Chain A
Amino acid sequence: DQQVKQNSPSLSVQEGRISILNCDYTNSMFDYFLWYKKYPAEGPTFLISISSIKDKNEDGRFTVFLNKSAKHLSLHIVPSQPGDSAVYFCAASARAAGNKLTFGGGTRVLVKP
Chain B
Amino acid sequence: SQTIHQWPATLVQPVGSPLSLECTVEGTSNPNLYWYRQAAGRGLQLLFYSVGIGQISSEVPQNLSASRPQDRQFILSSKKLLLSDSGFYLCAWRYFPGTGRNSPLHFGNGTRLTVT
Contact = CB atoms under 8 A, between A and B. Distances in A.
Interface residues of B, number: 23
A111 B71 CA distance: 41
B90 interface: yes
Given A43-B90, A46-B104, A99-B96, A104 B110 contact: no
By size class, the interface of chain A is 20 to 34
Interface in A29-82: 31-32, 34, 36, 41-46, 49, 51
A95 B96 CA distance: 11
Interface stretch (B43-51, B61-69, B76-84): B43-51
Interface in A76-92: 89, 91
A93 B105 CA distance: 11
Nearest to A2: B43
Given A43-B110, A99-B96, A89 B102 contact: no
Interface string B103-114: 011111110100
Interface of B: 6, 9, 36, 42-46, 49, 59, 90, 92, 96, 100, 102, 104-110, 112
Interface of A: 4, 31-32, 34, 36, 41-46, 49, 51, 89, 91, 93, 95, 99-106
